[in-house]
A = this chain, B = another copy of it.
Amino acid sequence: MSNPYIQATPDQIIEMLAAVDATSIDEIFNDQIPSDLQHKDTFDIPTALSELELQGHLTRMAARNQAADSLTSFMGGGIYDHFVPTAIMHVANRSEFVTGYTPYQPEASQGLLQAFFEYQTLLSRLYDMPVSNASLYDGASAVGEAVFMALAVHPDRNRIVMSESVHPDSRALVATYMAHFNTKVDIVKAGNGLTDVQALGESLGDDVAAVVVQHPNYFGCLEDVHGIEKRVRESGALFIVVADPISLGVLAPPGTYGADIAVGEGQPLGLNQYAGGESVGIFTCKSEFMRKVPGRLVGQTKDREDRRGFVLTLQTREQHIRRAKATSNICTNHAHNALRASIYMCLMGPQGMGEVARACVRNTNRLKSAILKKHTDAIAFTAPVFKEFVIRTNRPAQQVRDALLLKGYLAGTPLFETCGSGYENLLLVATTEKRTDAEIDGFAEALGEFL
């Protein structure tokens, strides 16, 4: 047998074929599939490797990547080199959590359901929003879903206003999502690293279903969320805030400044960077929108003997019941990543979340100061920041990044690559709680010649 996971033995195959009245497996297929649709030729794919061979093959393949365990990372812009407590994977990797499906049969999956209920509660408390769903794909698609929800809340409005300081992938995603949905997406400039609040106010109107702002924004800066909220409120649009969950260890949560929907990328909550591929879309909102929420929701209930239990709830929102009229098409979500984020938040608690956030602030500030000492104009934007900021380099930032790679640094994101022209000499760097003083000072030193 070429497939090590198939259990049928030759004897059993004979017995099973007899039971199904066939003389061969081919016959079962031929009974159902026209012969000309069956591909008899080779598929020309790479030859099989055994597990023994794959262990070496994969180890060598991974060694062809240069990752943050051998380089010192100042990368940010949405995905961060935060501390991942070792305990998380030890319990999250229990096979019941890893291999189970969406808990459609609640009695057989109370553990998963309770875990998702707790996830919802944790996010609700962190963002100070009364409702959280059980996860979406990633931060960008969470913005997309938020926009969809806003359009459902305001079926008579067909314009979305977004700040340029929202993560470029989120902006691109909303553009894609809305491209064929009869909805216009207007971008408000963020010239000096901050949303132009004036321009934002001017772009609002009673056709605007939602305003999307990120805080801290893509450039690391803290937005004038209070000022923005006031204007949004006046227009009747929904206020959608994108917020880094780690920042909420010290920053006021979206619920305190009037967000209607608050979303975010959950990777910083104990997930690996994984080239951005270990994500979870955080989605929280006000209570009044509960029945319009996209994705799974877990609710608390009772069993026949009055014991507390948990179920998937408000399923009439969902595609498998409501089909085209569903609040979203989402079925599979990012449950396991949500579970890991939950474990992270439990381990950290309020105190740990505070310490991590403060260490980010402190380290970022240390790097900023060191850079300013080298060159007083090297910080592109002056607004207060949380854990990342933009450096103005004396040559294209891509060259700086490449030069510093040779010195062992993942030196940040050249903004030209994510924001395009106009951003040539700008480098976005993040400094998490993991960076030591020596690393920060060394990096500032290494940057010196490029400022």
Contacts and interface: CB of A to CB of B under 8 A. Distances in A.
Interface of A: 51-52, 55-56, 59, 63, 69-70, 83, 85-86, 90-91, 93-95, 433-434
User: Interface majority SS on A: helix, strand, loop or mixed?
Assistant: loop
A93 B434 CA distance: 28
Contacts of A433: 52
Nearest to A63: B70
Contact of A52 (B55, B69, B434): B434
A60 to B, nearest CB: 10
Contacts of A83: 51-52, 55
B434 A51 contact: no
Copies in the complex: 2
A-B complex: 10 closest residue pairs judged by Cβ atoms: A52-B83, A59-B69, A52-B434, A51-B85, A51-B86, A94-B94, A52-B433, A90-B95, A55-B86, A55-B83
12 contacts: A51-B83, A51-B85, A51-B86, A52-B83, A52-B433, A52-B434, A55-B83, A55-B86, A63-B70, A90-B95, A91-B95, A94-B94
A59 B83 CA distance: 14
Contacts of A69: 59
Contacts of A52: 83, 433-434
A94 B2 CA distance: 30
Contacts of A59: 69
A358 to B, nearest CB: 14
A433 B51 CA distance: 12
A409 to B, nearest CB: 15
Contacts of A85: 51
Contacts of A90: 93, 95
Contacts of A56: 434
Given A59-B69, A90-B93, 13 more contacts: A51-B83, A51-B85, A51-B86, A52-B83, A52-B433, A52-B434, A55-B83, A55-B86, A56-B434, A63-B70, A90-B95, A91-B95, A94-B94
A56 to B, nearest CB: 8
A153 to B, nearest CB: 42
Nearest to A91: B95
A203 to B, nearest CB: 44
A178 B172 CA distance: 77
A85 B5 CA distance: 14
A165 B85 CA distance: 48
A94 B70 CA distance: 30
A52 B432 CA distance: 12
Nearest to A56: B434
Nearest to A87: B51
A94 to B, nearest CB: 7
A94 B93 CA distance: 9
A359 to B, nearest CB: 9
Contacts of A93: 90
